Amino acid sequence: MKRSKATSRRTGAPALAEVSLSEADGVRYLHLGTPWIQGAMRIRKPLKLELDYIQRMMAWLLLRDPATLADTRTLQLGLGAAAITKYCHAVLKLPTVAVELNPQVIHVCRQWFHLPDDDGRLQVVQGDAAAYMTDEAHVGSADALCVDLYDHEAASPVLDDEDFYRACWRVLDDGGVMSVNLFGRDASFARSAARIAAAFGEDHMARLKPTPEGNTVVLAWKGFALPGREVLQQRAETLKARYELPAPKWVKLLSAFQKPAAPT
């Protein structure tokens, strides 16, 4: 196992989690100080989306017209093992920005997970996602936003209040889509979903059924109505043929947001 310790240079701030790697059955895993898997890469296929929930995070593609996909500006909050960032940059060939707080995660991704150096279409920002999202310079700057912000304990999202999701809404341009990884107990999910609904509107969000590991991906969108099932299925078949993504499965797993019942 390779290890590199991450420390914080911010005065009074706690040290960032230790970054470590493990490998099994041809797959390299990223960890942040615990056995929890924070990202993965199949060593012989570094651009393949290895984890099921990471594949589902790309379900935002269903809500973008394939004819305009080339104009999509993508933004990821939380680098993980850089799977989504690499996929958007190298496979979809889209303008890609990723924001990651821990500088050692960026270093390890470039050394061990095939994350390329910045170029004309790729920018990896070492910084606080909350600060990035509240910067007025970034309003309307993204068309596809992937949010996967968990600390080393992977218990609940680090940024998860209504103000944060309103900032996500502002950063998305009209026609933009956000995918969010939510993980944890039902009560935690319900709270997070309600906050997203408050920012985007209950009729502008949907969810995919949880993975066996408990990851539930929520989609939220801005400035358009959800396409009908037939359109989604047609787009899914296009995505499967063009990129070998399991998009038809996403359509089957997708359901509209339902407001949790009030406690009795």
For the cut 50, the answer to whether the pLDDT of residue 75 exceeds it is yes
pLDDT digits (tens, 9 = 90+) for 198-227: 999 999 999 999 999 889 999 999 999 999
pLDDT digits (tens, 9 = 90+) for 107-122: 999 999 999 999 999 9
What is the b/e burial string over 26-49, where b = at least 16 CB atoms within 10 angstroms of the residue's CB? ebbbbbbbeebbbbbbeeeebebb
- Separation CA 149–CA 24 (nearest Å): 25
Q: Which has the higher per-residue pLDDT, 192 or 10?
A: 192
Q: Are 172 and 205 in contact (CB under 8 A)?
A: no
Contacts of 97 (CB under 8 A, 6+ apart): 73, 74, 75, 76, 122, 123, 124, 125, 142
For the chain, give the mean pLDDT.
89
Domains in the chain, CATH or no CATH each? 49-256 (3.40.50.150)
For the cut 50, the answer to whether the pLDDT of residue 11 exceeds it is no
Residues in the chain: 264
For the cut 90, the answer to whether the pLDDT of residue 124 exceeds it is yes
Specify the pLDDT at position 36.
85
Specify the pLDDT at position 253.
96
- Separation CA 180–CA 196 (nearest Å): 10
pLDDT digits (tens, 9 = 90+) for 160-200: 899 999 999 999 999 999 999 997 666 788 899 999 999 99
Mean pLDDT of 19-32: 95
Mean pLDDT of 77-95: 97
Specify the pLDDT at position 259.
64
Specify the pLDDT at position 10.
34
For residue 216, list its beta bridge partners: 182
What phi, psi does 199 have (nearest 5°)? -85, -40
Q: Predicted confidence band at 7 (pLDDT cuts at 50, 70, 90)?
A: very low
Specify the pLDDT at position 184.
62
Q: Are 191 and 156 in contact (CB under 8 A)?
A: no
For the cut 80, the answer to whether the pLDDT of residue 257 exceeds it is no
For the cut 70, the answer to whether the pLDDT of residue 12 exceeds it is no
Cβ neighbours around 140 below 10 Å, total: 13
- Separation CA 210–CA 40 (nearest Å): 19
